[in-house]
A and B are shown apart, each in its own frame.
Chain A
Amino acid sequence: MGIESAAKPEVKAALMRTRGLSKQFVQRSPFSRKKFVIDALVDVDLELAPGCLTALVGESGSGKSTLASCLALLEKPDRGGIWFEGNEISRCDAEELATLRPKIQMVFQDSAGALNPRFSAGQIIAEPLEIQGRATGRNLRLRACELMEEVGLSPDWVDRRPSQFSGGQRQRLAIARAIALQPAFLILDESLSGLDLSTQAQILNLLLDLQTTHALTYLLISHDLSLVGQVADFVAVMQQGRIVEQGTPQKIFAHPEHPHTRDLLNSCRVIESAFRTAQAGGRS
């Protein structure tokens, strides 16, 4: 198609890019024949620059997680295309998808639910390596220990189960599993909410370190604007399935154009300014 060929050079530049991505969910009421159609994604155009951290912000229900599932190839969009490393992947068959999946990994919000409670830490990290045939036998365990060390966990804990780790440590474990296959793209779906502030900062610092050593591209989904402001290279704001504003944090936070972005910023500002006033010693 004309539009696609014209946009080709741009498509190549971004690691991942979506164009007109749309997804609907149809819910049937259990008691009547009524149907509810939910527009989870409406014409989403998003570009993820390689080696950058792009943040996706918005209220709950705005479609952030659906977009993440589409990018992670877990959900098929109804319309629109996704390009990864210059190739269109939204029309790939199962076999082609299988070769792509190791390159795209995801870290979820609830680490307790995302890790098999019956596996040891070592088994959890080694499982993707084993499935992809990247290591066997003793090497699996060795590689798992290396990865644990890389995310700041002691290799002595390789035989512990997820329940013996704290929330922050479990999230490190989930990150170790995600980077085991040396992906190019990591989706962090609210991976930091639910952790307390100091753990959040530690995990973010870990992610920033890994980004440099592994040349990773991140998509960070978050509802916490103040967090996003500190680490993001690009910000996209979502509302009701649409991306309503995107740009650098400098632009979005200094000159928000969309009313929804302004609303989000205001709620954030109310809490924060009371705190700064208190710190400065003024009356709030």
Chain B
Amino acid sequence: MWTPSDPVPPGASPLLSVRGLNVKYGHDQGPVSALSGVDFDLDRGEIVGILGESGSGKSTLALSTLGLLPATARVEGSIQFQNQDLLTVDESSWRAIRGAKISMIFQEPGLALSPVMRVGDQIAEVIRAHRPGTRKSRKQECDDRLREVGLPDVERISRAYPHQLSGGQLHRVAIAQALACHPDIVIADEATRSLDVTVQSEVMGVLREIKRKLGTALIFITHNPALLAGFADRVIVMYAGRIVEDGPVAQVFRRPLHPYTKGLLQLAPRYPSQESLAPRGRLPAIPGSLTDADRSARGCVFEPRCSARTAVCQSESPSQTTPEQDRRVSCFNHGN
């Protein structure tokens, strides 16, 4: 059964603690900032949803937590995990962390899995890299993982090659592989993007089960707020590499404070009901798009696209405030 790799008494420091994270990528016209001043904590067994459009820095955040940033990236700040700063550990220590303590579910399992290896062997490979054991014990563990993600007929599936499995089955295998060593943290980067609805709700169900059974902490990156409801504990809204709002999902969805969050929630897919079908017309959209110029301009990064902007937004950058317990927001006009 699951034993935390480094037990800490409850109420102690968070599992993962990110402070002042800045990431810049080299660029012909000077460096572009992908993350600036990102602070957040992840508790044991917590599900944090990271919400934002493309270019908001979601994937850069995921890659920094796994030590997978390209060598050209300039990184500042700290990521504390089990008494070490992940930004300073060397590659050999990373090998002991990646896959064993922090792992990732990739967007396209069809591409992430090797086409020439049986899927069972691919899961066993992760276990072999991190733990001593016999071929037989690994086979046993691999079958357990496949069962944990709700796959029937484990015997057949573990002997199958990726092309012999359906999209939904492949997704489950990718999740089983990420869970191979029962890590403390799993990062899912747009894990359900480009899946059809039936498979999508299947995969969400599997992740929910895993939280319940194993208590794995999950960082769930998405652009669709509807997926976080009833699933994530907390939502972090990112724009242009900054955290613009952070709080418990229930509260943020009921009363979003940042205009960007309000815009994103409006975009959430609607179940086709009589009321939503009545007027067929233009869809609500957040006007404009994020440009590299916005990132370095004075004032709030969201100002050019904001519907609630005032004079101050153009000249000054809002600092983070705590309007309520457990909630953070970066906006001058969040009260209105």
A contact residues, total (Cβ < 8 Å)? 51
A-B contact list, 9 entries, CB within 8 Å:
A60-B196, A166-B289, A198-B267, A228-B272, A230-B276, A249-B272, A253-B273, A265-B271, A277-B229
Which residues of chain A are within 8 angstroms of B265 by Cβ–Cβ distance? 279
Q: Are B272 and A166 in contact (CB under 8 A)?
A: no
Q: Are B285 and A267 in contact (CB under 8 A)?
A: no
- Give the top 7 A-B pairs by smallest Cβ distance, nearest first: A229-B272, A226-B269, A274-B230, A223-B196, A201-B285, A284-B230, A196-B223
Q: Are B285 and A202 in contact (CB under 8 A)?
A: yes
Q: Are B276 and A281 in contact (CB under 8 A)?
A: no
Given A196-B53, A208-B281, A264-B197, 12 additional A-B pairs, CB 8 A: A60-B199, A196-B223, A197-B267, A198-B53, A224-B197, A227-B269, A253-B272, A265-B272, A267-B197, A275-B228, A275-B253, A279-B265
Alpha-carbon distance between A228 and B194 when the two chains are bound, in angstroms: 15
Encode contact with B along A184-218: 1 for CB under 8 Å, 0 otherwise: 00000000011011110110110010000000000
Question: Could you count the A-B residue pairs with CB atoms below 8 Å apart for me: how many are there?
Answer: 140
Which residues of chain B are within 8 angstroms of A272 by Cβ–Cβ distance? 226, 268-271
Residue A233 lies at the interface, judged by CB distance under 8 Å to chain B: yes
Q: Would you list which residues of chain A between 213 and 241 have a CB under 8 Å from chain B?
A: 223-231, 233
Residue A273 lies at the interface, judged by CB distance under 8 Å to chain B: yes
Q: Would you list which residues of chain B between 254 and 307 have a CB under 8 Å from chain A?
A: 254, 263-265, 267-274, 276-277, 280-286, 289
Q: Are B286 and A264 in contact (CB under 8 A)?
A: no
Which residues of chain B are within 8 angstroms of A205 by Cβ–Cβ distance? 282-283, 285
Which residues of chain A are within 8 angstroms of B280 by Cβ–Cβ distance? 230-231, 233
Q: Are A281 and B226 in contact (CB under 8 A)?
A: no
Alpha-carbon distance between A263 and B201 when the two chains are bound, in angstroms: 11
Q: Are A197 and B223 in contact (CB under 8 A)?
A: yes
B contact residues, total (Cβ < 8 Å)? 48
Alpha-carbon distance between A274 and B272 when the two chains are bound, in angstroms: 15
Q: Are B272 and A59 in contact (CB under 8 A)?
A: no
| Smallest beta-carbon distance A282→chain B, Å | 9
Q: Are B272 and A275 in contact (CB under 8 A)?
A: no
Which residues of chain B are within 8 angstroms of A226 by Cβ–Cβ distance? 269-272
Q: Are B270 and A277 in contact (CB under 8 A)?
A: no
Alpha-carbon distance between A199 and B200 when the two chains are bound, in angstroms: 20
Residue A280 lies at the interface, judged by CB distance under 8 Å to chain B: yes
Q: Would you list which residues of chain B between 149 and 201 have a CB under 8 Å from chain A?
A: 167, 193-194, 196-201
Contacts A167-B54, A278-B254 given; does A198 touch B286 at CB 8 Å: yes
Contacts A201-B283, A253-B273, A272-B269 given; does A168 touch B197 at CB 8 Å: no
Alpha-carbon distance between A194 and B281 when the two chains are bound, in angstroms: 22
Which residues of chain B are within 8 angstroms of A271 by Cβ–Cβ distance? 197, 200-201, 204, 226-227, 229, 269
Residue A254 lies at the interface, judged by CB distance under 8 Å to chain B: yes
